[in-house]
Structure 1
């Protein structure tokens, strides 16, 4: 096998994040986040607008220790949470014993076709499936396991957000993102690549950057119809928010 020159990192999404989410630090971090669990404003809007059947079945992908799963369960949904990290799933089962959690990979699940009314993939989880072919595999698997007219909702990094800071908070975050995604030495060779290294509480991880136009096209190729781009704002500004959420229909 040809050796990779470590001084010139690849720009094709091959760095990987294997093992990051199975550490004790990951379990501790995610457990801290569910001490007072709430849905993010965008998630709340999505559930209230598009998850019409409050007894419907929901697949929570990348469930972590169960934040979204438990909150949807409390609202009456029939929830199944899956995550590739066995330690996170074990913790979720101990925290929320009334919810079903499984170790599973969204790119290749063992669910029957048309098993779920809804699917959610929160907190940028889709962006850690690299390279792009793995991201597409996940979207196609979600299409397979959703019922006809089923709804999928997920968040993704938005590389439009630094272009139009909408508030002083957004400006601070935009400056931070430019420093992280473009000025960081590891990303110098990735100026025009969708794959960037990002500094997060668990370390430096490789992520995939999308935007509303790119994501609309990608969803179309996977068979979905984009219904909405959901942000904290209601107007055109939501297309430039950092925490972009997408809702699509099978």
Structure 2
């Protein structure tokens, strides 16, 4: 039922659902900060394959799921046909004071124009509406990405920093951006969250799922050498009890549109 992966759509919805369920599992804690009320209109921004959208739907809210990846949205529609899902860009939301709340889990670190995204989110909320999000913070997966850069160097390859796929701000930096666009920041926290990656191939699966942009233009065999080198480099420090533990660092924020 899924579309083939397009050249500009890096997301493998089946791999995401099969090997990275922790994304949705941890997102349930963010819903507690959202405190959804029955009958509210809520946008799940960066909904992936829709698991947290379904959680919100079951709580009795009028929820819409949105993701930039058509592959993810196809999967979400297949899994949850009763919920409205649409493809969309967080920096150009097609809404005008529409939602009581906008919720986002593990998405905003993919958006390298954070102020533009926040302006779009702010515009899409009703007056008094709230924005609640969790995403990667400064230092997130730094051990992993440092090792990837190291493997590039060991193979005589140039690591191109512009292909680093993420925006990882400090909590102070992001809270300041929220205030700049008009939000009243009522909660902001940064914390370590060591995250198990499922199985002996967990680190490899994580890199192949989330780090593809760093390897654009490389041959398959070269990519595999890099990933194997990262596994060998980090096994002593990150592989515990037959599981890889990723060095996640997270931000949680809540803002009110005054």
TM over 0.5: yes
Which runs of structure 2 are paired with 1:1-250 in the superposition (5 Å)? 18-21=8-11, 26-32=12-18, 33=20, 38=25, 40=27, 42-48=29-35, 51=36, 53-111=37-95, 113-123=96-106, 125-130=107-112, 134-159=113-138, 177-178=142-143, 180-181=145-146, 184-185=149-150, 206-230=165-189, 242-250=249-257
Matches of 1:196 and 1:47 in 2, distance apart? 35
Matches of 2:152 and 2:114 in 1, distance apart? 21
Stretches of structure 1 lacking an aligned partner (at least 5 in a row): 1-16, 162-175, 189-194, 198-203, 234-240
Aligned 8 A contact 2:139 2:168 in 1: no
**TM-score, normalising length from structure 1?**
0.65
- Deviation of 1:186 after TM superposition, in Å, equals 8.9
- Deviation of 1:157 after TM superposition, in Å, equals 2.1
Matches of 1:210 and 1:36 in 2, distance apart? 19
Aligned 8 A contact 1:37 1:71 in 2: no
Matches of 1:27 and 1:136 in 2, distance apart? 28
Aligned 8 A contact 1:41 1:232 in 2: no
**TM-score, normalising length from structure 2?**
0.63
> Matched residue pairs, number?
189
Stretches of structure 2 lacking an aligned partner (at least 5 in a row): 1-6, 154-159, 193-247
Pair 1:145–1:47, CA change in 2 (3 A) = same
Matches of 1:180 and 1:68 in 2, distance apart? 28
Aligned 8 A contact 1:196 1:207 in 2: no
Alignment correspondent of 1:201: none
Partner SS, residue 184 of structure 1: helix
Q: Aligned-residue CA RMSD in angstroms? A: 3.2
Matches of 1:98 and 1:221 in 2, distance apart? 37
- Deviation of 1:43 after TM superposition, in Å, equals 1.1
Pair 1:218–1:118, CA change in 2 (3 A) = same
